[in-house]
Structure 1
């Protein structure tokens, strides 16, 4: 049995000698070069964890190729799963917005542009309150600020949004047919 220092030294030698050939092996088997770097990193992570199992220097490359082959198989399966998930999400999103008659309404585009002109915290406070339906206390928890800051920012964001949209918003917090900005909920 070898000591931990000997195993670490052997791992370092194997890493130095086999990194470039292993990277070339991975690059030839993936679509994106960044993926090859991930494959090599994962392969050497396995090798580090199993450094006591690393064969002698003459066989180390073959052992690493075997590990890399399994890492690549996992990578390809994961990519296929991500692709299927992405396809399902795109279908759901498409279905959700296909029936949205206001998606092309100029007023909606005005609101989106106005939201983009708000400060980041003001925009996030407004979106968490309006679109996510969070009370100031809840939004404060998400943002890591006090509820008082959320209430203040929400009031300021509503006023600035009305100013930027430029048309009569009707009742406080309302943009006709597009966005309803309710008064903050207390407590909850």
Structure 2
């Protein structure tokens, strides 16, 4: 068996890429995954080029390699899915949802979703993560004064969206009030 040289390998690639890509596309959910499968198939072919048979057997050999690459791809997906499930269960037990303790959590979540992305992030980093405005500014890469302004506006807008009866104990808006440093923070 002769080892394909660069030109021969290019020709093999050009002749076999379209059918292998079609093969992979029909067996994966995402086109990017198919491209990865074909790329890995040809990488293996390059590394094992001394084993690649010539003539019409080349395509069959490449299909065999692609089949094994796809099998590995699918096993990897299954492993990632199982790991993701375990991680989600563990995270749910370790990191409780701060909004889960509030009876009106759906109203809060809906109102938060209606805020702008930066306002929502400033508010949640301050209230739920317990960061000071200067810390939030560092996380977001903005000026601390801008964080304080956005925080004030975001709180006001959120109160407006969920109701402004702050005197009622347990009202969802009560979670939006974070003590100032003078109040013992």
Q: Tell me the TM-score normalized by structure 1.
A: 0.68
Q: How far 1:114 moved relative to its partner?
A: 1.5
In the alignment, which residue of structure 2 is the partner of 1:139? 136
How is 1:158-177 mapped onto 2 (pairs within 5 angstroms)? 158-170=155-167, 176=171
Q: Does 1:180 align with 2:175?
A: yes
Indicate conservation of the 8 Å contact 1:129/1:184, yes or no.
Answer: no
Deviations 1:88-125 (A, max 9, x none): 2454467667xx564xx4x3222222112211110111
In the alignment, which residue of structure 2 is the partner of 1:157? 154
Which ranges of structure 1 fall in alignment gaps of 5 or more residues? none
The verdict on how the C-alpha distance between 1:17 and 1:86 changes in structure 2, with shifts beyond 3 A counting, is: same
Q: Does 1:87 align with 2:85?
A: yes
Indicate conservation of the 8 Å contact 1:135/1:184, yes or no.
Answer: no
Indicate conservation of the 8 Å contact 1:169/1:176, yes or no.
Answer: yes
Indicate conservation of the 8 Å contact 2:24/2:38, yes or no.
Answer: yes
**Counterpart pick for 1:123 among 111, 117, 120:** 120
Indicate conservation of the 8 Å contact 1:114/1:164, yes or no.
Answer: yes
The CA RMSD over aligned residues, in Å, is: 3.6
Which ranges of structure 2 fall in alignment gaps of 5 or more residues? none
Q: How far 1:177 moved relative to its partner?
A: 5.4
In the alignment, which residue of structure 1 is the partner of 2:110? 113
Aligned pairs, how many? Answer: 172
In the alignment, which residue of structure 2 is the partner of 1:65? 63
